[in-house]
A and B are shown apart, each in its own frame.
Chain A
Amino acid sequence: MKKSDQDFSLPTRQSYIAILLILGKTTSLVFRQLIPVLLVVMFRKTEPDVGPPYFTYAGLAVILLVMIWSAANFYMSWFVVKDGELIVHTGIFQRKKTVIPLERIQTVHFEQNFIHQLFDVHRVKMETAGSEKNEVSFQALSQENAFALRALTLHGSIENDAENAVAGQEGAIECDTVSSVRQPAIPWVKHDLNTLLKVGLTQQHLRSGALILVFIFWIFENIQQAGIELDSYADNVEEWNLNLLLLAFFLLFLSVVIVGISLVMAILLFWDLRFARVADGFILSSGLFTRKEKSARDHKIQYIQWSDNLLKKAIGHFDLELFQAAGHSLSRKQRIFVPGCVNAHVDDVAFALFGLSKNDFTTFLQVSSAYFYRFAALVSIGFALGISVFVYGELTSYAISATFLWIFLLVTRFLAWKKCRYSFVNDVLYLKKGVFATKDVLMPVVKLQAVKLRQSIYQRRQGLCDVLLYTASGTLRIPYITYQEGMATVQRMLMITTADTKQSWM
């Protein structure tokens, strides 16, 4: 319960470990630039005993310069927090001063690679909603400074998080003291190895499989373009049975590799994942070698989404994502992604953010059946024509594949239509989507930036429209609802956003 003695009103530098990290970064940068020179030096004709070793001198000079540069870089960079603004000074010859109002900071990300973990320091990145130019990053801040800085941006004062810094010193990044006072109902998502294995095993294997296949084909293509005839190697293997066996083995091998990669990735990325509720935000930390920590304040979160796939559905897992306000190019980075959640987690987050559970949404409005029939009619005309051409031209295999594709498209669209529905409770939109899997979104209407109604000629005749809901973190689309419903959505959005004078979206 000690009060943090971090005082950012005085210029604060990074931890001394930063010198090491800057040195590493600069060295790799310089090395990459010098590769051509080094190659020339290494492969030049060596004539013994000709003059002094200039190249060695030059090399030493470069190393010395790099070291001086890194040290100077460290000593010339500092930050101050004054009058609610974070002021960061950087640069050696060309001095740069970045001023960011604390309230503009959208997220604070922590990252620890092996070296950081060894010395108990954090790489800290701060992002604003505006532009990338306003991003600030520190190579290494001591744990106390990092926590205090985050506390400043997250709740506007250092005290709240001071304790967490203490807790952190005991080996974990935990911040539940605040949450236990204000939000006792919020549990943590904390993954043990068992959950982690499940997360790894239920990844989108089909997608990664397709990616790997594409990669293999790409390699084959390149090899053939390089003039190597692969067919000549295959001449010996002419027996059809053997080929089938090979194919089966190949597929088995491929699936093992894909699942293996998914598992390894899950363990690397989500090791010791902790998703915690703090006073008015969430903190997510995970990772085996490089630990990353992201945080988000409640009012920066534009909407939440939870999704599954068929495998995840079988074991009742969801991937929960919190979307934050962000510059367009940053929106992916601003996502807080929590895999392996269960229903209760989703409910807790929804309750914390919007004060309601997803079970409160009882009445759903479905999108018009024209969403399916219109698509089915258009696709069927195209495929019927195509297939008859194939049949006429006796291209049976093409005709069969086209038929399968046709059925697949119809079935997926039908499922998409069945799944797509929406509901409003307390001015929170619940949008359900998905084909085989489900993808559910909860978004408060107050987060909307703009609404667009769109109608094709067909939709106009049928009195239907698509509604596009623009938030600061992406666009949601409700297709094929009646024009009245669309206008009602516009109306609802306008009533709430025009009454909102506090700019509640950011």
Chain B
Amino acid sequence: MRGSLINGLILFHAYTDWKESIFMQGANKQIRNTENTMSEFLQPAELPYADAPAYTPLNSRYRKVLLLLATGYALVFFAAVAALLTGFAELVSHWLIFFAVVASLALCLVVMYWVTLFYQSAGYGIRKKEVFYKSGVLFQSLIAIPFSRVQHCELESGPLDRRFGLASLTIYTAGGDGSDLTIPGLAEQEALQIKQFITSMADLDEEE
């Protein structure tokens, strides 16, 4: 029972809730003085939690973009399967065709469900000195970048994004490809504001 997909997903949601609650606990605790932690040795369990931001979900229009993309790819895939099967129509049984159609449709649904899950899992948080982004369905990741380590930011919006007034913001550090952070599905104006904020904060740090 535990292994089934649905239960896994329920667990996953319960888990994210649990995680959020931990973040909330952290908000009540006081962060220790930085100087203090610099000098003494602390067990990680003793350290206070980050008062992690309440994650902002991605723009709801981004879910539509993702669904559209998923449908588009699914249609292409479906067309390819249909073309292949009609090509060999005399060789394959009707059952096989029926099975293929059902499987393709099922795949379509799974992908759409996946997209929804991905949309729900993703969220970003911006604080005075750092930016967070979490995402992922099977493998969930949380990345944190302090503004003092930002090299530059980049806004990008594809044709579909522009149609929906969206943009994605990529934040680059000197830490290599894995450490770059991309927040997709931001409203254009919002993305621009975030970019300007981060750039100004990064510049401030350098001037000090």
Contact = CB atoms under 8 A, between A and B. Distances in A.
Interface of A: 129, 325, 328, 363, 365, 424-427, 448-457, 460-461, 468, 470-472, 474-475, 483-485, 487-503, 505-506
Given A365-B43, A451-B143, A494-B129, 9 more contacts: A363-B41, A449-B174, A455-B139, A455-B140, A460-B11, A470-B173, A492-B47, A501-B148, A501-B205
Contacts of B181: 450
Interface size class of B (residues with CB under 8 A): 35 or more
Contacts of B41: 363, 424-426
Nearest to A484: B45
Most interface-central of B19, B139, B176, B177 (chain A CB within 10 A): B176
A129 to B, nearest CB: 7
Interface string B143-159: 11111110000000000
Interface string B47-65: 1111000000000000000
Contacts of A453: 141-143
A348 B64 CA distance: 59
B146 A494 contact: yes
A455 B11 CA distance: 14
Given A487-B49, A487-B50, A498 B173 contact: no
B130 interface: yes
The prevalent SS among residues of B at the interface is mixed
Contacts of B140: 454-455, 460
12 contacts: A365-B44, A424-B44, A452-B142, A452-B144, A453-B142, A460-B12, A470-B176, A470-B179, A488-B49, A496-B38, A498-B129, A501-B148
A451 B50 CA distance: 13
B30 interface: no
A474 B145 CA distance: 16
Most interface-central of A424, A455, A487, A496 (chain B CB within 10 A): A487
A500 B148 contact: yes
Nearest to A425: B41
The prevalent SS among residues of A at the interface is mixed
A365 B49 CA distance: 18
B39 interface: yes
B28 interface: no
Contact of B50 (A363, A449, A468, A494): A494
Contacts of B37: 427, 492, 495
A461 B11 contact: yes
B178 A468 contact: yes
B208 interface: yes
B87 interface: no
Contacts of B174: 129, 325, 449, 472, 505-506
Given A325-B174, A475-B175, A449 B8 contact: no
Interface string B161-181: 000000000000111111101
Contacts of B4: none
B109 interface: no
A365 B50 CA distance: 20
Across the A-B interface, give the 8 residue pairs with the lowest CB-CB distance, nearest first.
A449-B175, A470-B175, A470-B179, A488-B44, A450-B179, A498-B129, A449-B173, A488-B47
Contacts of A461: 11, 15
A455 B149 contact: no
